[in-house]
Amino acid sequence: MKKRGNDFGITLIGLFKLLKGLTLVIVAIGLLRLLHRDVEATVSHWVEMMRMDPDNHYIHGALVRVFRVTPKQLKALSAGTFLYAGLFLTEGMGLLARKHWAEYLTVVSTALFIPLEVYEIWHRFTWVRVAILIINVLTVWYLAARLRRR
């Protein structure tokens, strides 16, 4: 068996997965905190604090969608966000610990989202979505090539 040594690619992917997982934990907690508050007032306050223009087409559209969210939807969204955070944190910790199963888990879970990302780009093109797709394709390619070499 090969020595696992320092592998910059695995470390980078692991850290990126940890960052995504921690970000999602923060988002999920934020969603839960909105449960017993006036969502409209809270979101409007944050828009004002960040000096965003509520009349901006994109901001206005986002606000309209946020204001329609029900407490049940907030709970479901928070639960889903916690699940994704758990997956990303598991992948990240496993990759940083150089666990073989984490490479397989990351390849499968990342590859499963590629068709959805292509669909999203097809229906609403943004450069951010293209960048995310490229990062995910490179991640799958790198880990699959690494697994194949074993």
SS (H, E, C) the chain: CCCCCCCHHHHHHHHHHHHHHHHHHHHHHHHHHCCCCCHHHHHHHHHHHCCCCCCCHHHHHHHHHHHCCCHHHHHHHHHHHHHHHHHHHHHHHHHHCCCHHHHHHHHHHHHHHHHHHHHHHHHCCCHHHHHHHHHHHHHHHHHHHHHHHC
| Per-residue pLDDT, 41 | 79
Least confident range from 7-16, 27-36, 65-74, 135-144: namely: 65-74
- pLDDT of 2 over the 70 cut: no
- pTM of the model as a whole: 0.79
The model's pLDDT over 113-131, given as tens digits with 9 standing for 90+, comes to 999 999 999 999 999 999 9
| Per-residue pLDDT, 148 | 93
| Residue type at position 29 | I
| Per-residue pLDDT, 52 | 79
The model's pLDDT over 86-119, given as tens digits with 9 standing for 90+, comes to 999 999 999 999 999 999 999 999 999 999 999 9
Q: Locate 7 and state its tokens.
A: 């592998």
| Per-residue pLDDT, 12 | 95
Q: Locate 42 and state its tokens.
A: 């809270």
| Per-residue pLDDT, 50 | 79
Q: Cα dihedral sign for 120, 43, 61, 79?
A: positive
The model's pLDDT over 31-65, given as tens digits with 9 standing for 90+, comes to 888 877 777 777 777 778 878 777 777 777 777 77
User: Which band of pLDDT confidence, cut at 50, 70 and 90, is reported for residue 1?
Assistant: very low
| Residue type at position 66 | V
